[in-house]
């Protein structure tokens, strides 16, 4: 069967996890060990254009104008194949993606990338999927992408199979004053893939079973903080959750950490600011960069302090963002 060459562009935003996803129970379907909760961010996003074209003899895949190969290409093809299966087509696709996110530096370009790819590809293939279906599909490209389909505060329900593992919006984040300041320490690609590091944590960290208990408790606390607009409860719970996630890589065999020296120094600075009554909290994903959670009243001071330390070009403030949209 052939398809027309309808070209569709979708935009999806990255998200930062407040209760982290760290560990899969099914590597192929990407079913996580636990639920997670994130906040979608306004200023970091990916635009992806997809067109299925029966003139093509292979998928043509570009990110930021450069062809992609190997592992990266295989993951994109996996999602395209899922879409082709659903749409009952076997046409190859031209995919072109532009990141407005420093790639693979723990700022989750994979989350926005796979969410945008899923949305653009499914619509270009003529499918009209629900957000829940898009979340299930995006999940199979990159777990955290399941959450980037939605805006605001989002929960990814771990589930047990493809059907039951998807994200939903908890709250639009319109009624809680929250800002996020990204501190970019390193823009280069991370050395340890999150997939590999998660597997090592699940299989070798003696703390892994305890982590699952920590998450169960933090999910309840963060949900309550979102409901009651309690910024300090949300921030303090997120920071501790992030530190406990990073304790998993430090307690894996072989042990390692995503932190570098500057990560530690800047985490200390966040604590110092807090001691000076600046309400801010830090979170760190699979890379050395830090995201500082704060409120409007403290935003300028936080930007000034960190700009002096790492340069204003490495301090990017943002706020809650929206779910996917088509351009
Ligand atoms: O979706 P992945 O494979 O990029 O893993 C994301 C893992 C963390 O960012 C560290 C945590 C999370 O929940 O996003």
Q: Which of 265, 246, 128 is nearest to 192 (CA)?
A: 246
Q: What per-residue confidence (pLDDT) applies to 189?
A: 63
Q: What is the mean pLDDT of residues 113-127?
A: 97
Q: What per-residue confidence (pLDDT) applies to 308?
A: 97
Q: What is the mean pLDDT of residues 244-253?
A: 98
Taking the C-alpha atoms of residue 90 and residue 80, their distance in angstroms, rounded to an integer, is: 10
Say yes or no to pLDDT of 1 above 50: no
**Residue 164 gets which letter from DSSP?**
T
Burial of 175 (0-12, 13-18, 19+ CB in 10 A): exposed
Say yes or no to pLDDT of 45 above 90: yes
With beta carbons less than 8 A apart as the criterion, state whether 292 and 269 touch: no
Q: Is 258 in the pocket of ligand 1 (CB under 6 A)?
A: no
Q: Which of 274, 217, 288, 281 is nearest to 246 (CA)?
A: 288
Ligand 1 geometric centre to CA of 22 (Å): 7
Q: What is the mean pLDDT of residues 44-64?
A: 96
Ligand 1 geometric centre to CA of 214 (Å): 17
Mean of all residue pLDDT scores within the chain: 94
Give the pLDDT band of residue 190 (cuts 50, 70, 90): low
Ligand 1 geometric centre to CA of 21 (Å): 6
Q: Is 252 in the pocket of ligand 1 (CB under 6 A)?
A: no
Residue 106's φ and ψ, nearest 5 degrees, are 80, 20
Q: Is 201 in the pocket of ligand 1 (CB under 6 A)?
A: no
Say yes or no to pLDDT of 85 above 70: yes
Greatest Cα-to-Cα distance within the chain, rounded to the nearest angstrom: 65
With beta carbons less than 8 A apart as the criterion, state whether 16 and 154 touch: no
Q: What per-residue confidence (pLDDT) applies to 108?
A: 56
Q: Is 108 in the pocket of ligand 1 (CB under 6 A)?
A: yes
């Amino acid at each position: 069967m052939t398809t027309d060459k309808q070209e569709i562009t979708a935009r999806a935003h990255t998200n930062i996890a407040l209760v982290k996803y760290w560990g899969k129970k099914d590597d192929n379907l990407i079913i996580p060990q636990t639920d997670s909760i994130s906040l979608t961010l306004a200023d970091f996003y990916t635009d992806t254009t997809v067109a299925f074209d029966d003139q093509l003899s292979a998928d043509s895949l570009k990110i930021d104008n450069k062809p992609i190969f190997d592992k990266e290409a295989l993951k994109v093809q996996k999602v395209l194949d899922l879409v082709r299966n659903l749409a009952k087509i076997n046409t190859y696709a031209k995919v072109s993606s532009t990141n407005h996110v420093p790639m693979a530096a723990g700022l989750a370009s994979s989350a926005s990338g796979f969410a945008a790819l899923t949305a653009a590809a499914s619509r270009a293939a003529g499918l009209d999927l629900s957000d829940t279906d898009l979340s299930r599909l995006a999940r199979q490209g990159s777990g955290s992408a399941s959450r980037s389909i939605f805006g605001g505060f989002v929960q990814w329900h771990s589930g047990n199979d493809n059907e039951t593992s998807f994200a939903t919006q908890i709250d639009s984040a319109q009624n809680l004053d929250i800002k996020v300041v990204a501190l970019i320490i390193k823009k280069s690609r991370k050395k340890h893939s999150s997939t590999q590091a998660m597997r090592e944590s699940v299989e070798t960290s003696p703390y892994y079973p305890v982590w699952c208990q920590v998450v169960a408790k933090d999910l309840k606390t963060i949900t309550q903080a979102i409901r009651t607009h309690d910024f300090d409860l949300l921030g303090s719970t997120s920071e501790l959750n992030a530190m406990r996630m990073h304790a998993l890589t430090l307690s894996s065999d072989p042990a390692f950490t995503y932190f570098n020296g500057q990560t530690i120094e800047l985490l200390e600075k966040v604590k110092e600011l807090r001691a000076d009554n600046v309400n801010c909290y830090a979170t760190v994903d699979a890379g050395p960069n830090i995201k500082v959670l704060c409120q409007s009243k403290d935003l300028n001071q936080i930007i000034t302090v960190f700009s002096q330390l790492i340069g204003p070009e490495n301090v990017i403030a943002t706020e809650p963002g929206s779910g996917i949209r088509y351009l």
